[in-house]
């Protein structure tokens, strides 16, 4: 929309009673990335001021997201940075944006060549905390970086770009995330994840794998490393994966449409599409934001026995809707998420024989369905914010495994259906001060119900079909608080704690076709736990751009029940205690920045999913481990057009006092944890052409060697591979074209060497996706 020479952007609540001190007030701003005109409009509404834009050519100037507590002048400075315009205060509650120097042609600015590391506010700390005061390691990936990578990027895109994150490779929708080598096992089971995943303030999962939601229309992704029990409770042993979606824009209609096509060497082509629509339903008061996507990843593994080519394709369809209502100082967001992901077969190939080929008597498809409904209510006072977030999620994972015996002519399969529903609610009060003391206090509640149904079937009619059902119920209530206090110049102390009560209950049932009228029922174990988990940290900003931190914190996971030998037994909760020190050199605007940390963890009563000698899944406590790790992240901007980043992760762990039933091998290492890994990213702003700005990016991720699991049957090597991605993006104000190349060397690798737990002696590998080229086109309005 072309604006007139003078456009007045006015808050609906503007009035004559504004005070002359309005410019000095510190206000909680939440302005999504977009263009300058709607950003100024939203800022004016949130600050209750008037802003006049007198440079029409700046109206569609791209802007980055701004979140945090700051003054009006600070926000305007960030919005206008690099535009050649300035904001002048013309009245106590009115500002004018004008040209700083003689007018010149304004063209859309190129995206910043480096990621915004959020040196202003750490939003995942649940209050306004400056990164220099935060005693821990946090990585923030902004919207511009996500768009450069791929509009339909999934969790794997983040894994490839952060050295400390890893994932199993069972297939999208049933993988498990690990941070800093806190890896329990490679299998899916009833235990809680070791990484807490959140969409905004809502918990995404509890005892289920990563739903692998498409990373579309996001404001940022925050990764907190190390245990986070004080603020996030159970299931945060390794850290937090915090996804921040874009909020509805209440001022301007906008949208995006994207379509892409991909060609995979040795496999089928693929396609993807996505659309975003933002609708202000009542200016400044009510708005709706809709996101929809669909994708088909072409298969690339052939089955010689069944004469199937490229049989492991994956199809995904999903969407998200958010309705925002603003009434005075209150804001309410009602959201819904739905996604269905279907895999035609597993991702494994035979370790021997032709590349990307296997021999199996039956397909092993799977399907992952995910739904989430949530309501988040916010209320802002001058220096305090109230947030109440409630969500109800449901996740269903249906899988088929080949359980045939090579010495037996009969075909045997195991069908497993895992269902998990989680109700979570949290209400907290937090200060909005970014300097001086700040605090947060809150209450949290979580209720999870999970059911695993398993059916064993044989093609031999003389054999019975066995069915089992395992139910787990977890109730968790907690009171938590944390405060950051300055104690000397440049020195802050952060202290907090969480008190929680957990109740666990399990139930197991088994039946067969020959005895359905007389099922056996075991005892139903129930446990109660009360925990108090303290934390303390210190940060010292010795001088601008130079600081260090130290902290100690704990994390835990609730226990549960598992089926073994036709009966049920409980597995205990596990606890991880961390001591960490770190150094920060440089700021977000520095040409060079280095973040270095060293940590030691002790992990007691480790919960792990494993398998029995017959291949049946089982969950147990396998022992105690110590984990020592060093992580380093460096960023260097040698020129305005070039940004280089790299990360290194070094890990050493050892398992002590192993459980006899775990069949521990000599090396006693945790599963899926490579002793080292690194990644390197480069972003080149290559100039302008064809009405747009050309950005070139490259990523190289190397994963070291590891073992498949713990136990003689699982003592198989994996890892020691590299994953490389190149992309070129030509972007203008309204259109963009992206060309992306993954695995250009067409390497095979071995990401995860398990196809089915029921045929462990058939050596298999899970190769990288072969050389793939994707072309994508985007349009915005």
Per residue in 335-365, pLDDT tens? Answer: 999 999 999 998 889 888 899 998 888 899 9
Q: Where is pLDDT greater, at 674 or 115?
A: 674
Residue 418: name the closest of 608, 208, 607 by CA: 208
Which range has highest mean pLDDT (98-102, 331-335, 510-514, 649-653)?
331-335
Q: Where is pLDDT greater, at 693 or 292?
A: 292
Any domain includes 195: no
**For 395-424, b where at least 16 C-beta lie within 10 A, e where not — what string?**
bbbbbbbbbbeeeeeeebbbebebbbbbbb
| Tens-place pLDDT, residues 749-770 | 888 767 777 776 677 888 999 9
Average pLDDT over residues 32-38: 76
Any domain includes 162: no
The length of the chain is: 781
Query: Quick one: pLDDT at residue 619?
Result: 81
Query: Quick one: pLDDT at residue 554?
Result: 92
pLDDT value at 410 more than 80: no
Any domain includes 127: no
Last residue of a domain, one of 99, 125, 145: 99
Q: What is the DSSP letter of 175?
A: B
- List for the chain the helix, strand, coil content (%; round to 5): 5, 55, 40
Average pLDDT over residues 26-39: 77
Any domain includes 684: yes
Q: What is the DSSP letter of 80?
A: H
| Tens-place pLDDT, residues 699-748 | 999 998 887 765 555 667 788 899 999 999 998 888 999 999 999 999 98
This prediction's pTM: 0.83
pLDDT value at 593 more than 80: yes
Q: What is the DSSP letter of 113?
A: S
Any domain includes 224: no
**For 246-265, b where at least 16 C-beta lie within 10 A, e where not — what string?**
bbbbbbbebebebebebebe
At 524, the pLDDT band (50, 70, 90 cuts) reads low
At 551, the pLDDT band (50, 70, 90 cuts) reads very high
Q: What is the CATH number of the domain that holds 89?
A: 3.55.50.30
pLDDT value at 606 more than 60: yes
**Distances in Å between the alpha carbon of 658 and those of 171, 264, 620, 666?**
30, 44, 11, 11
pLDDT value at 512 more than 60: no
Q: What is the CATH number of the domain that holds 491?
A: 2.40.170.20
Any domain includes 139: no
Any domain includes 476: yes
pLDDT value at 101 more than 80: no
**For 516-530, b where at least 16 C-beta lie within 10 A, e where not — what string?**
eeeeeebeebebebe
| Torsion (CA) 55, 59, 64, 70 in degrees, nearest 10 | 60
Distance CA 540, CA 584 (A): 10
Distance CA 240, CA 34 (A): 27
**Average pLDDT value for the chain:** 83
Average pLDDT over residues 497-520: 69
441: tokens are 């206090």
| Ramachandran area for residue 310 (φ above 0: left; ψ -120 to 50: alpha; else beta) | left
Query: Quick one: pLDDT at residue 436?
Result: 74
pLDDT value at 201 more than 80: yes
Which range has highest mean pLDDT (164-178, 513-527, 540-554)?
540-554
Any domain includes 166: no
| Tens-place pLDDT, residues 135-192 | 999 988 877 777 766 545 788 888 888 889 988 888 888 888 889 888 887 777 777 8
Distance CA 582, CA 539 (A): 9
Q: Where is pLDDT greater, at 586 or 128?
A: 586
Distance CA 123, CA 142 (A): 12
Query: Quick one: pLDDT at residue 515?
Result: 41
H or E segment to which residue 72 belongs: helix 72-80
Last residue of a domain, one of 69, 99, 129: 99
Query: Quick one: pLDDT at residue 742?
Result: 93
- What are φ and ψ of residue 463, in 5° steps? -95, 145
Average pLDDT over residues 588-593: 83
Distance CA 732, CA 649 (A): 37
Sequence-ordered strand ranges (E) for 71-108? 85-91, 94-99
Q: Which domain holds residue 642?
A: 240-780
46: tokens are 């949130």
Terminal Cα-to-Cα distance of the chain (whole angstroms) = 9
pLDDT value at 678 more than 50: yes
Query: Quick one: pLDDT at residue 461?
Result: 56
At 322, the pLDDT band (50, 70, 90 cuts) reads very high
Residue 611: name the closest of 177, 173, 186 by CA: 186
Query: DSSP string of 272-320?
Result: EEEEEEEEEEETTTEEEEEEEEEEEEPP--EETTTTBSS---EEEEEEE
Distance CA 219, CA 147 (A): 10
Query: Quick one: pLDDT at residue 763?
Result: 77
Q: Percent of the chain having pLDDT more than 90?
A: 42
Residue 134: name the closest of 577, 582, 489 by CA: 582
At 578, the pLDDT band (50, 70, 90 cuts) reads very high
- Cα 341 from chain centroid (whole Å): 17
pLDDT value at 661 more than 70: no
Per the structure, the count of domains in the chain is 2
Average pLDDT over residues 376-400: 92
pLDDT value at 662 more than 50: no
Last residue of a domain, one of 99, 128, 147: 99
At 48, the pLDDT band (50, 70, 90 cuts) reads confident
Q: Where is pLDDT greater, at 668 or 162?
A: 162
């Amino acid at each position: 929309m072309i604006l007139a020479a003078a456009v007045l952007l006015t808050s609906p609540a503007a009035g004559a009673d504004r005070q002359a001190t309005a410019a000095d007030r510190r206000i909680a701003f939440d302005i999504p990335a977009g263009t300058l005109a709607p950003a100024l409009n939203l800022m004016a509404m949130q600050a209750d001021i008037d802003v006049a834009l007198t440079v029409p050519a700046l109206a569609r100037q791209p802007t980055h997201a701004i979140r945090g507590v700051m003054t009006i002048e600070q926000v305007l400075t960030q919005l206008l940075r690099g535009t050649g315009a300035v904001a002048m205060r013309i009245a106590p509650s009115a500002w004018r944006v004008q040209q700083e120097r003689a007018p010149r042609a304004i063209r859309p600015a190129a995206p910043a060549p480096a990621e915004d590391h959020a040196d202003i506010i750490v939003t995942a700390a649940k209050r306004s905390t400056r990164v220099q005061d935060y005693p821990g390691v946090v990585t923030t990936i902004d919207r511009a970086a996500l768009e450069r990578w791929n509009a339909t990027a999934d969790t794997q895109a983040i894994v490839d770009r952060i050295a400390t994150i890893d994932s199993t490779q069972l297939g999208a929708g049933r993988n498990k995330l690990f941070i800093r080598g806190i890896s329990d096992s490679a299998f899916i089971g009833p235990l809680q994840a070791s990484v807490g995943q959140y969409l905004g303030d809502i918990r995404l999962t509890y005892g289920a794998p990563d739903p692998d939601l498409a990373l579309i229309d996001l404001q940022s992704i925050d990764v907190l490393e190390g245990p986070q029990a004080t603020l996030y409770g159970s299931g945060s042993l390794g850290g937090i994966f915090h996804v921040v979606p874009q909020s509805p824009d209440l001022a301007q209609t906008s949208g995006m449409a994207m379509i892409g096509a991909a060609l995979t060497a040795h496999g089928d082509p693929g396609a993807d599409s996505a659309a975003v629509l933002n609708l202000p339903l009542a200016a400044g008061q009510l708005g709706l934001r809709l996101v929809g996507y669909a994708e088909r990843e072409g298969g690339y593994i052939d089955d010689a026995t069944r004469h199937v080519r490229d049989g492991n394709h994956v199809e995904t369809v999903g969407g998200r809707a958010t309705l925002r209502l603003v009434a005075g100082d209150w804001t309410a967001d009602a959201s819904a998420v739905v996604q269905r992901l279907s895999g035609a077969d597993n991702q494994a190939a035979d370790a021997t024989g032709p590349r990307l080929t296997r021999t199996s008597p039956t397909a092993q498809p799977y399907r992952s369905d995910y739904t989430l409904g949530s309501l988040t209510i916010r209320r802002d006072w001058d220096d305090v914010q109230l947030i109440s977030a409630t969500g109800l999620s449901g996740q269903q994972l249906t899988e088929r495994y080949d359980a045939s015996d090579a010495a037996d002519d009969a075909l045997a399969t195991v069908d497993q259906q895992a269902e998990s529903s989680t109700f979570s609610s949290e209400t907290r009060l937090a200060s909005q001060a970014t300097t001086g003391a700040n605090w947060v206090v809150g209450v949290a509640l979580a209720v999870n119900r999970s059911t695993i149904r398993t059916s064993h079937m044989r093609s031999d009619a003389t054999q019975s079909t066995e069915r089992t059902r395992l139910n787990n119920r977890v109730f968790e209530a907690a009171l938590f608080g944390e405060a950051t206090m300055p104690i000397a110049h440049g020195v802050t102390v952060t202290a907090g704690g969480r008190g929680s009560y957990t109740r666990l209950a399990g139930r197991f049932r088994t039946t067969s076709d020959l005895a359905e009228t007389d099922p056996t029922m075991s005892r139903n174990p129930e446990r109660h736990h009360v925990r108090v988990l303290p934390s303390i940290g210190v940060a010292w900003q010795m001088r601008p751009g130079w600081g260090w931190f130290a902290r100690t914190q704990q994390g835990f996971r609730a226990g549960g029940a598992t089926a073994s030998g036709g009966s049920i037994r409980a597995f205990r909760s596990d606890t991880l205690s961390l001591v960490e020190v770190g150094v920060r050199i440089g700021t977000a605007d520095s040409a060079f920045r280095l973040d270095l940390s060293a940590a030691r963890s002790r992990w007691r009563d480790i919960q792990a999913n494993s398998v029995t000698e017959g291949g049946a899944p089982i969950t147990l406590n396998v022992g105690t481990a110590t984990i020592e790790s060093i992580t380093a992240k460096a960023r260097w901007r040698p020129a305005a057009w070039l940004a280089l980043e790299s990360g290194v992760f070094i890990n050493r762990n050892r398992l002590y006092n192993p459980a006899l039933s775990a069949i521990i091998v000599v090396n006693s290492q945790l599963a899926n944890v490579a002793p080292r890994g690194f990644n390197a990213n480069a972003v080149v702003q290559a100039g302008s052409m064809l009405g747009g700005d050309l950005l070139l990016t490259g990523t190289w991720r190397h994963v070291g060697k590891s073992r498949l699991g713990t136990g003689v049957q699982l003592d198989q090597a994996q890892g020691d591979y590299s994953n490389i991605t190149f992309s070129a993006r030509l972007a203008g104000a309204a259109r963009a074209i992206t060309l992306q190349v993954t695995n250009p060397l067409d390497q095979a690798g071995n990401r995860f060497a398990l196809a089915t737990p029921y045929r462990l002696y058939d050596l298999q590998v899970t190769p990288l996706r072969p050389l793939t080229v994707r072309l994508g086109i985007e349009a915005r309005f």
